[in-house]
Chains A and B, each alone.
Chain A
Amino acid sequence: MDSSITRRTGVLLLIFTFSSFLHGSRGEIPTQPTGGSVTILPPVNLDNAPQAYPDPVKENMPVFTMNYQRIQLPFEITLWVLLASFAKIGFNVYHKITIWVPESCLLISIGLIVGGIMYSVHEEPPAVLSRNVFFLYMLPPIVLDSGYFMPTRPFFENIGTVLWFAVVGTLWNSIGIGVSLFAICQIEVFGVQDINLQENLLFATIISAVDPVAVLSVFEDVSVNEQLYIVVFGECLFNDAVTVVLYNMFNFVALMPEVEPVDVFLGVGRFFVVGLGGMGFGIVFGFVAAFTTRFTFKVREIEPLFIFMYSYLAYLVAELFNISSIMAIVTCALTMKYYVEENVSQRSCTTIRHVVKMLGSISETLIFFFLGVVTITTDHEWNWGYILFTLLFAFLWRGLGVLVLTQIINPFRTIPFNFKDQFGLAYGGLRGAVSFALAFTLPENIVRKQLFVTATIAIILFTVFLQGISIRPLIELVNVRRTNRNLDTINVEIHCRLMEHTVAGIEDLCGQWSHFYWKDKFLKFNNRILRKILIRDNRAESSIVALYKRLELQNAMEILDNVSGDISATPSIVSLYEEKKSSAKPKKKFLATDVKNMHDILSKNMYKIRQRTVSYTNKHALPNDSHSREILMRRHTSIRRSLRPGSFQSSVVPKYFSLPAGKSLDTKYPPRRQIYTDDLETMSEVVYHSRPSRFGKPARSSSRAMMPLRRLDTLTEAPSVNLLDESTGEERGSSRRGTSRTNSSSSDSHIPAPHRPFHSSVENDSSSAYNIRSGHHEVEEEQQQQPPPPAWVATPRDNAAQNPLLRRPQWNPKKM
């Protein structure tokens, strides 16, 4: 397409302009203290102040001056970041590329080009890969990103496998590759005899660190089964502990003339210190962060700051003690997320996610970019034999490792890995940023450092390009087990919960434990103790209820979005989404036929509900469960104008939408909940034993202040039954929502405010059943629909004879 080509050319031109600018700008700099290479050190310059010596020649007031040194450092950083981001824009223009070639490959390619340019003009790239810059500034955002968006439930279900592969797998790889390379070194023809065992082991450690960034995005696109995904993901994060320990150990050992057996034991001890210490720090900081956010409700603007500061602090403190900082920051993010997201406001939550993603994305982009740049500009030492054998052994040992380890751990898994999964696991072991940085930070006194660097770069490039590009067709060819992600229904949630309890019970029966047991225990502990301490409003919410609310909210949104425009022509789902985006339409009143059509549309739309919050999110996109709320914010102003103000309740937006009848949101909801808390047991007991009487009893009508409102025929005769067959509960739920608005307005005036425990709770059931949905509306910043005003009639008792809860406007004609 012409436009895309022009755009890409434009982008490339921009890139070239920028790089030449960088070159040109550097030409003006006076000689740096460190010789040819430009390091990112703040240049010491005295040019800020005006010159103090007397000027022999009188100069006039300079109109235009320039002072580059002053801004040099931030300026260059900004330019590099922009350059890398432009590259990212550039190849997303033609999106088919990103399907077949992972982004990391593309970034490296662009980096190679830019590196080539810089090399040809004899420039040095900025020393991004110095130890400090990489490990202190560039790595934490990436790890935070991974840790924050890790799907927790599958992770904890598979934690044994993850740790097994991370720890033992990395050990296996390092030692295997190291020893084999050492054997190769003995062969004279390759000319690398001077590399001793320790150095080989060190090198092997560096290249065992997997970094499957590219693979993860492929896995997501292809929807591979959750187990495989989480193991690859988790392994990448957690093998850092082992890598760091081994690296430091072999580093230490390589510098020492001899090794004693006690050092090996100390090494093992150090591993535990590093790993567990990292986790410990992370958990501590996570809890502190969660506790802090408990008190931040007055300072909502800086809430996201706490997240970042605490995570970074965890990272730095771990670095201080030379323990695994990556594990610290990952565990901190994992721990903190659950509690923080309940404490902070919705906007802060969105902000946090956006910023975490953004920082992670930038860092990753920059790292791969610089990988490309540095490839060209460093001195390489190439040794065919060594490098080729390294590649061979890397593949070999990983494959073997996966095979052997899977065989050992499969009996312990409920769902064993089959060979296809193992293939995915083995082939998904790409190397990336961490290997790169570790290679660069090898101490200088290793003789063959350049060879190692070259070999590392070769491996990274090879795996990223070859495996990264080919993994997608291979995964599809091999037909790895996929997962079903579209499971957002209440039914599934409830039944899955039931199954979990069942399996836990059966396991107790058989006298064996598994993760269900621990999960149960942890959840109990969590609810009893942790939540009370760490969460401000401890309104514990079951995930079923949370899902239910989200779904209801979703449908409310969709109804509102559909109010506008001409709907009687039943648009397709695609056009419906387009309609959502375009907002400039005149708002009509709610007609009966519109309501019907909306529900048809909604029923078809139901399974487009977005993913649950944290599971299995796309690496390069945000999880967008707050999308619906954002739509809400955007549109409420336009909608509010066109709707009747009516008898709204307060406009505060709390997070809990279920609202008992007649109550305003902020004041009375908490006390009401407590009342339920107290007599939930009594209520359920009573309900259980008097079940028939409760549902059959019409006699409460006298104490019921609210008249049941029955939909008039205008609405019931509209839908035909066969449309309903396709539909699901969304339709009816939303219809009730549509009509429940006036419900609440009339009920407000009727429901008596005080109430006694049991009766009132049941009394208010039906009204509140209506009002749950109207509560949604009242809460949602006075979003309103316009139910047909004349359609509401207070009907006499015949409806109350049935279960008051069932006494809802029924779409089902036969029920009326």
Chain B
Amino acid sequence: MGSKSSSLNKIPNAQELMQETGFSAAHILRLYERFEFLDVDQMGELRPEDFGAIRELSMNPIGDRIISAFFSPGKETVDFASFVRILAHFRSTETNRTRDGAQPEPANSRTRKLKFAFQLYDQDRDGKISREELLQVLRTMMEMQVTEEQLQSIAERAIQEADLDQDDAISFDEFRKSMEKVDIDHKMSIRFLS
């Protein structure tokens, strides 16, 4: 596929990205096209406004959290490598190529997916989902009319269901434990077009 490899050349570090994330060349290419589409001023980097331009995403209740997940703490822009790395979380684990043990855990492993979800709650990155953080997410997600006291009780119950060490917050391990029976791969995967 001559055209593809020549196009791949203009993507910096394409081979390493493919290796690291497990995307195929076709996937990377398509994601690069999407990246360029979103990058309206062609700076090679995405800014929060570029994400905000996606209409559907801005209507998503947790759209802003998803967007902020792309930005590493402290950085203002997202380059293509970070873009792909974050999206790599959402590959289905069924399509994992076999890897040797020396490689680090792939981005779309169950733990990494759970970690991504966890960080959507934990905006202040303290490693725990506090009650307020949970409440915030609940509020944004409950688009139907829910009374405040219901929200509070639900959050209360959720924390108590999961909180094993009684610190009134959900740590990542508790989060993982509460989701141990759920098929995360199914819920947190998308089929990447190529």
Contact = CB atoms under 8 A, between A and B. Distances in A.
A628 B156 CA distance: 23
A795 interface: no
B182 A514 contact: no
B4 interface: no
B187 A496 contact: yes
Given A496-B187, A499-B117, A510-B190, A729 B148 contact: no
Given A415-B94, A508-B54, A764-B149, A486 B158 contact: no
B149 A416 contact: no
B187 to A, nearest CB: 5
Given A527-B143, A548-B150, A721-B166, 6 more contacts: A414-B189, A499-B187, A504-B56, A505-B56, A505-B57, A505-B63
A350 B166 CA distance: 40
Interface stretch (A32-40, A464-472, A677-685): A677-685
Given A416-B94, A489-B178, A491-B178, A503 B190 contact: yes
B178 A495 contact: yes
Contacts of A16: none
B144 to A, nearest CB: 4
B34 interface: yes
Interface string B108-124: 00000000110011000
Interface in B118-153: 120-121, 131-132, 134, 136-139, 141-150, 152-153
A385 to B, nearest CB: 44
Contacts of B146: 542, 545, 676, 680
B110 to A, nearest CB: 12
A732 interface: yes
B61 interface: yes
B172 interface: no
A491 B190 contact: no
B164 interface: yes
Main secondary structure of the interface of A (DSSP, over half): helix
A484 B187 contact: no
A546 B36 CA distance: 43
Contacts of A765: 148-149, 152
A578 to B, nearest CB: 27
Contacts of A501: 60-62, 141
A527 B144 contact: yes
A658 B92 CA distance: 40
A498 B62 contact: yes
Contact of A509 (B51, B139, B152): B51
B64 to A, nearest CB: 10
A548 B60 CA distance: 23
B101 to A, nearest CB: 24
Nearest to B116: A502
A495 B117 contact: yes
Given A490-B157, A505-B62, A684 B139 contact: yes
Interface residues of B, number: 67
Interface in A507-563: 507-512, 514, 517, 527, 539-542, 544-545, 548, 551-552
Given A499-B117, A660-B147, A673-B147, A484 B154 contact: no
B139 A551 contact: no
A542 B156 contact: no
A697 interface: no
B1 interface: no
Nearest to A493: B158
A695 interface: yes
Across the A-B interface, the 4 shortest Cβ-Cβ residue pairs: A729-B160, A508-B56, A768-B149, A540-B144
Contact of B181 (A484, A545, A548, A683): A484
A551 B156 CA distance: 13
B153 A769 contact: yes
Contacts of B163: 729
A666 interface: no
Given A506-B190, A551-B157, A494 B147 contact: no
A83 interface: no
A333 to B, nearest CB: 25
